[in-house]
Amino acid sequence: MDTFIVGLIAATLRVATPLIFGTLGELFCERAGILNLGIEGTMFFGAFTGFAVAASTGSLWLGLLAAILSGILAGLLMSLFAVKLGVNQHVSGLGITLLLTALSLYSFRLIFGESSVNPSIEGFQQLSIFSSSPILGPIFSQYLLTYIAIALIPLVGWVIYRTNFGLQIRAVGENPEATDAAGLNVIRLRTLALAIGGGLMALGGAFLSIAQLGSFTFGIISGRGWVCIALIIFANWQPIKVLWGSLLFGGVSALQLRLQGLGLDMPYEVFLTLPYIVTIIALTLGGRNAQAPAAMLKPYRRE
């Protein structure tokens, strides 16, 4: 049973990693007042770009860098539509998700051909810390990116709550008129937030393709972006709570995988729907969800 729990903890952290990246990315966007439904596509695009660059250059780090850049690009695209043009955020976000997904699939076929065998690379290796310990060893046998993701949580919290930039982001998401009146550039702030957010989302995607799997599959994201949308509500837009939400979801997923592995006959899908159902209940109990940034979904135009 010990190995079961040890394995469960280790797997939980692995499953949680891309969710932490994605949710922190979405947190930047939503804190600045933009619901970025482009997240699903941005993660997919990041997974693809990271893999493609890593595979063609042979450098995983270059792949990671390329993934971040692709995410920033996706954020800027979202900014063009949702911030500059002020298009309805739902439709533009979904449009970007669909476009980036199609673009990734197209480019993947273009580069790697129609082969039925998925190309793979030697991905990042798990670090072995405490490798001699039977308990700590497996738990801390994680990818560097997992540590980075966890370290990012307090970092993002610090940026949001303790820096001038974070203050401005929070202000623009709550009251763009007041932010404008304070002499700050609303468009620029929101664009920056989307770019940073996009970079983080793409990193989450790249974790899957160039660390965990070492390959790019069409189902690589399969709704993880939407999970992040749910987690951010669950986390009440607070960085630190993102960790608990991601771990909870990661734990549930890991648990159902383990139980399946044990050959237990149970509807594991029920577990997987939990975060969504919990989020819907949270939204309902939260009433008019007073915690959400007040200016979210509202394009800002100076009259």
Partner 1 sequence: MYAVEMLGITKRFGNVLANDNVHFCLEQGEIHALLGENGAGKTTLMRILYGLYKADAGEIFIDGKKVEITSPKQAIQAGIGMVTQHFTLVPTLTVAENIILGYHDKQTVSKTEIEAKVKAASEKYGIHVEPGALVRQLSVGERQRVEILKALYRNARILIMDEPTAVLVPQEVEVLFESLLRLVKSGLSVIFISHKLHEVMAVCDRITVLRDGHVTGTVSKAATTQQSLANMMVGRETFGVSRQSKRKTGKVIYTVKNLCACNSQGLPALNDCCFELHAGEILGVAGVSGNGQAELTQVLTGLVKPTKGSVKLDGTDLTNAEPHDITDAGVGRTPEDRHEGSIGTLTVAENLALEDLDKFIRHGMLDQSLIIENARKYIEEYQIKASPTDQLRKLSGGNMQKVILARALSRKPKVVIASQPTRGLDVGATEYVRNRLLAERDRGAGVLLVSEDLDEIIALSDRIAVIYEGCIKGIMPAAEATAEKLGMMMAGAC
Partner 2 sequence: MLKQFKIERVPAPRWSVIVIPIVAVLVTFLVSSILVILAGANPFAAFFNFIVTPLSSQVSALEVLVKATPLILTGIAVTFAFTAGYFNIGAEGQLYAGAVLATWVGFTFTSLPSIIIIPLMIAAGILGGVLWSLIPAILKIRLKVDEVVTTLLMNSVMLYIVSWLLNGPWRNPLSGWPQSPEISAAAHFATLFPKSRLHIGFLIAIAVVAIAYIVIKRTPLGLKMRAAGASLTGARFAGIDTTRTMLTAALVSGGIAGLAGAVEIGGIHFHLIDAISNGLGYTGIIVATLGSLNPIGAGVAAMFIGLISTGSQTVSRVLGVPVYLGDVVQNTLLLVTLAMFLLQNYRIKRVRWILLS
Footprint on this chain of partner 1 (rule: CB under 8 A): 162-168, 170-171, 174-175, 177-179, 181-184, 294
Sole residue written with tokens 């966007």: 29
Instruction: Name the minimum Å distance from CB 218 to partner 2.
Output: 10
Instruction: Name the minimum Å distance from CB 178 to partner 1.
Output: 4
Of 19, 34, 73, 96, the one binding partner 2 (CB under 8 A) is: 96
At 17, is the secondary structure helix, strand, or coil?
A: helix
Residues in the chain: 303
- CB neighbours of residue 297 within 10 Å: 14
Beta-bridge mates of residue 120: 215
Q: Is 36 in the site for partner 2 (CB under 8 A)?
A: no
Listed residue (88, 78, 86, 1) closest to 39, CA to CA: 78
Subset of 169-188 contacting partner 2 (CB under 8 A): none
At 36, is the secondary structure helix, strand, or coil?
A: coil
Of 162, 280, 291, 298, the one binding partner 2 (CB under 8 A) is: 280
Instruction: Name the minimum Å distance from CB 281 to partner 2.
Output: 10
Instruction: Name the minimum Å distance from CB 293 to partner 1.
Output: 8
Of 120, 126, 184, 276, the one binding partner 2 (CB under 8 A) is: 276
Beta-bridge mates of residue 215: 120
Instruction: Name the minimum Å distance from CB 255 to partner 2.
Output: 15
Instruction: Name the minimum Å distance from CB 112 to partner 2.
Output: 10
Contact status, residue 70 vs residue 47, Cβ threshold 8 Å: no
Report how far apart, in Å, the C-alpha atoms of 7 and of each of 33, 209, 252 are.
39, 22, 13
**Which pair of structure tokens corresponds to residue 196?**
């940073």
CB closer to partner 2 out of 96 and 169: 96
Q: Is 28 in the site for partner 2 (CB under 8 A)?
A: no
Amino acid at position 109, single letter: R
- Can you tell me the distance from the alpha carbon of 220 to that of 217, in angstroms, rounded to the nearest whole number? 5
Main-chain dihedrals φ then ψ at residue 215, nearest 5 degrees: -155, 170
Q: Is 95 in the site for partner 2 (CB under 8 A)?
A: yes
Beta-bridge mates of residue 284: none
Q: Is 269 in the site for partner 2 (CB under 8 A)?
A: yes
**Which pair of structure tokens corresponds to residue 34?**
């933009």
273 binds, among partner 2, partner 1, none (CB under 5 to 8 A by kind): partner 2
Q: Is 213 in the site for partner 2 (CB under 8 A)?
A: no
Q: Which residues bind partner 2 (CB under 8 A)?
A: 35, 37, 81, 85-88, 90-92, 94-96, 98-99, 101-103, 105-106, 108-110, 114, 223, 226-227, 229-230, 233, 267-270, 272-273, 276-277, 279-280, 283-284, 287-289
